[in-house]
Structure 1
Amino acid sequence: MGCCDAPGLMPLDEAEAMIYRQLHAIRETETQALPTALDRILAEDIHAPIDVPGYDNSAMDGYALRSADLNQFPTFKQVGKSFAGHAFDGDVGRGQCVRIMTGAPMPKGTDLVVMQEDVNVEGEQIRLTHPQKLKVGTNVRRRGGDIDKGSQILRAGVRLGPAHIGLLASLGLAEVPVFRRLRVGLLSTGDELCPPGTPLASGQIYDSNRYLLSAILTRLNVEILDYGLIADDPAAIRAAFERAQSECDLILSSGGVSVGEADYTRDILGELGDITFWKIAMKPGKPLAFGRLGSAWFFGLPGNPVSAALTFHQIALPALQRLAGELPATPLCLPAELGATTRKRPGRTDFQRGSLTTREGKLVATPQDEQSSGVLSSMTRADCYIKLGQFAGNQAEGETVEVLPFDRWIL
């Protein structure tokens, strides 16, 4: 008997472990130009081809001089200027200095920079006001002080952010090796669903799940294959799944995985695929299917919008990241004081929407008044999940709870 047929619900941590054991990152790679590499996944370790900075340079606007002269001369004669991009190419002798700007190369023979605020200018001479503060290397950025040539600067699996892009550019790299983008199929099932922009018929609601999921997938920078709204018709559902499994790395379906008279999705998935589990001990989000359809992975998300958002955010999204080749990341989890008493029945891990504030220097998480899985507006008023363990019961105001702040994927 498979786990999906066993009585009871699969604990959340077991479901996650089962998913991660089965998933393996894609291997296909491509070369991406740096300006379009944002949010791509690095496919190889990157080692620095040059030193950064590539030469000793000034960290301040001021005057470059020789440390050996500090106790030898009361004043120093300015013999030239050094700017970023226009270096002073002469020699600096005893008792001499060079006017220098931030980032400019250090003139030959000099080994410190005195800030312009610490000198008195007397014609072509400068007089130091605080020479005792100066020593070899003062206000000098050494060659390779940031990055040594040959050192590893980024690991394979990093999702490239703006700082990574800037770092790669500082090394002179115009392109980088990345994993290809995942192909993710997206569809919603249900006769009650209607696309936004069209009038609602009696008993219909607008399809919000597909738009919410598409927005997160866009941020994830995957290739989205949108199969649209699929009617509660066995032939239509079967045709959509058969097409998607041949075109996608992973399929996301919203609705149709709970037990219901018109939920044909579950039956067809059983025919076409190998479903590992159908439901988990999680609230909201109990009806959640995971498995394979042909060569594609499959997540069947609940139809209620908060349930769909939560199960995607907490379970499907980390799976997608691993499948894309991204290094696993530990979500930020903070202890907080509960701002109001909240009700909970033991049996499922509960993710209540909440709001974070501080009170007397302590982090306080207050549950939203409305915790229904159908009230999507509560997600826009919240900024965190209050995570209550599977076997926890009611929680009193003031107790310490785990809090998962919303991240870029859901905000």
Structure 2
Amino acid sequence: MSLIDVEQAQQRLFSLSSAVEADDLPFAQAHGRWLSCDLMALRDQPWSDLSAMDGYAIRYAGLPGPWTVIGESAAGGDCALEMGTHEAVRIFTGAAMPKGADCVLVQEEAEIRAGQLVLTGEGPDRPGKHVRARGSDFANGTLLLGKGSKVGARHLALAAIGGHSILPMHRTIKVALFSTGNELVEPGMQGRPADLPASNGVMLRAMLTGMPVTIDDLGIIPDDLAAQTNAFRRALTADIIVTTGGASVGDHDLVKPAFEAVGGSVDFWRIALRPGKPLIAGRKDRTLFLGLPGNPVSAFVTATLFLLPLVRHMSGANDPLPPLTSKILTQDMPATSARANYIRAIVENGNVRPCASQDSAALLSLANANALIIRPPHSGPAKKGDQVEVILLS
């Protein structure tokens, strides 16, 4: 099976799945998820013409006054008062404008003298000054947020003031996770020099934190076909099965045959990517399978490019892929071969420099990095001062 490029692999992965079923969620559970349909306003905002300042509601044609104050309007209710050209109503921020008023004289520019309201400053310069017109933010029926929009704190505020208390989202995605390898032990359990603490599961669980997923961590599975087949069988109730290790072509790389043993079908295997070439994607009924490499940097890069975008895609996101930005290189870089290179790097003051070590097992350089430089396949040498595309790592 020949190598496929990163962009083609991402689109093929998305084509294996669609967004999971919709579910209405309260605000407390909606943050960080994606809308399953358009969200429309259920009310006008503001609900009426409201004052934007403390002062006096007046009619612009009555300037420069004086005026007779005929009443008061405070926030929280309608104003039944109706006023003439030389009448005013004491008004407070957020209060409804009385009938006949079209602007607000702020209190700093007015005084009461001998029972009359008089102008002491410049006053409003036009009708509508210091007035929030009814529906000026949005009207009933306005599109507030489109399908596939990610909902953050400001969007929750918009939905609430738009009249909603629950939001149309997609249900939580079930992810089953296990690591393969006879050399792996649980973190903190190292006994022999050859024991390798399992870091991928810890890392992937953290990468999925804050996403709309539940994780079933099956732990470490040895390099045994029957054991890995059984792990797949146990995980088939999940929406996504994620493995690390065992995805290459060695005698102990058993993930692919184990997945096929439970009836799974592999869609693609091996990506034109460095690090992360031995990546597997497939499906068994409605369950997606993503086999990530065992080297931790490769696992991180492929999770960034494939696992997290897959979760976003199945959650209904319009833009599931990681956002790209441009930075200026601070040193020369060599040409690339037939594989895209995703290079650990450090962004500082708008510039970017590669980390010294790019070994796929070197976690220290990954921990120190805050970005990945993207070098497409067959790219010529990059020079200091060139613009390069970068994925920022949060």
What is the TM-score when the length of structure 1 is the normalising length? Answer: 0.88
- Whether 1:126 and 2:113 are equivalent positions in the alignment is no
Are residues 380 and 92 of structure 1, via their aligned partners in 2, closer, same or farther at CA, if it must alter by over 3 Å?
Answer: farther
Q: CA RMSD in A?
A: 2.1
The residue that corresponds to 2:148 in the other structure is: 157
C-alpha displacement of 1:296: 0.9
Letter in 2 for 1:381: N
Distance 1:224 1:330 in 2: 21
C-alpha displacement of 1:339: 0.8
The residue that corresponds to 2:178 in the other structure is: 187
TM-superposition CA deviations, 1:356-389 (whole Å, max 9, x none): 233xxxx321112222222223333222221111
Pairing partner for 2:255 from 232, 252, 265 = 265
Are residues 68 and 270 of structure 1, via their aligned partners in 2, closer, same or farther at CA, if it must alter by over 3 Å?
Answer: same
The residue that corresponds to 1:364 in the other structure is: 351
C-alpha displacement of 1:143: 0.9
1:257-406 alignment, distance < 5 Å: 257-272=247-262, 273-329=264-320, 331-358=322-349, 363-406=350-393
Contact 1:346–1:393, Cα closer than 8 Å, also in 2: no
Pairing partner for 1:30 from 6, 23, 39 = 23
Are residues 200 and 91 of structure 1, via their aligned partners in 2, closer, same or farther at CA, if it must alter by over 3 Å?
Answer: farther
| Aligned pairs, number | 392
The residue that corresponds to 1:222 in the other structure is: 213
Contact 2:246–2:255, Cα closer than 8 Å, also in 1: yes
Contact 1:121–1:127, Cα closer than 8 Å, also in 2: no
- Whether 1:20 and 2:14 are equivalent positions in the alignment is yes
Are residues 123 and 351 of structure 1, via their aligned partners in 2, closer, same or farther at CA, if it must alter by over 3 Å?
Answer: farther
The residue that corresponds to 2:245 in the other structure is: 255
Letter in 1 for 2:225: P
Are residues 218 and 404 of structure 1, via their aligned partners in 2, closer, same or farther at CA, if it must alter by over 3 Å?
Answer: closer
Question: Runs of 5+ in structure 1 lacking a partner?
Answer: none
Distance 2:215 2:120 in 1: 64
State the secondary structure of the residue aligned to 1:287.
coil
Question: Runs of 5+ in structure 2 lacking a partner?
Answer: none
Contact 2:305–2:322, Cα closer than 8 Å, also in 1: no
Q: Report the identity percentage.
A: 34
Contact 2:179–2:220, Cα closer than 8 Å, also in 1: yes
C-alpha displacement of 1:10: 1.5
TM-superposition CA deviations, 1:261-319 (whole Å, max 9, x none): 32222332343321122211111111111111343111000111111111111122212
Distance 1:235 1:295 in 2: 23
C-alpha displacement of 1:112: 0.5
The residue that corresponds to 1:116 in the other structure is: 107
Distance 1:110 1:285 in 2: 68
Contact 1:114–1:134, Cα closer than 8 Å, also in 2: no
Distance 1:18 1:30 in 2: 26
1:173-252 alignment, distance < 5 Å: 173-245=164-236, 247-252=237-242
Are residues 82 and 371 of structure 1, via their aligned partners in 2, closer, same or farther at CA, if it must alter by over 3 Å?
Answer: farther
Q: Please, which moves more after superposition, 338-347 or 121-130? A: 121-130
Letter in 1 for 2:149: V
Letter in 2 for 1:399: D
Distance 2:380 2:293 in 1: 24
C-alpha displacement of 1:327: 1.8
TM-superposition CA deviations, 1:332-363 (whole Å, max 9, x none): 323322111234531111111222233xxxx3
C-alpha displacement of 1:189: 0.9
Are residues 83 and 197 of structure 1, via their aligned partners in 2, closer, same or farther at CA, if it must alter by over 3 Å?
Answer: farther
Are residues 111 and 287 of structure 1, via their aligned partners in 2, closer, same or farther at CA, if it must alter by over 3 Å?
Answer: same
Are residues 391 and 88 of structure 1, via their aligned partners in 2, closer, same or farther at CA, if it must alter by over 3 Å?
Answer: same
Contact 2:75–2:95, Cα closer than 8 Å, also in 1: yes
Distance 1:204 1:293 in 2: 33
TM-superposition CA deviations, 1:101-137 (whole Å, max 9, x none): 2212112221111333333554752314113x52111
Are residues 192 and 118 of structure 1, via their aligned partners in 2, closer, same or farther at CA, if it must alter by over 3 Å?
Answer: farther
C-alpha displacement of 1:198: 2.9
Contact 1:275–1:291, Cα closer than 8 Å, also in 2: yes
Contact 2:199–2:296, Cα closer than 8 Å, also in 1: yes
C-alpha displacement of 1:227: 1.4
The residue that corresponds to 1:66 in the other structure is: 59
State the secondary structure of the residue aligned to 2:209.
helix
Distance 1:158 1:255 in 2: 34
What is the TM-score when the length of structure 2 is the normalising length? Answer: 0.92
Are residues 324 and 86 of structure 1, via their aligned partners in 2, closer, same or farther at CA, if it must alter by over 3 Å?
Answer: closer
Distance 1:383 1:119 in 2: 56
Distance 1:98 1:197 in 2: 73
State the secondary structure of the residue aligned to 2:42.
coil
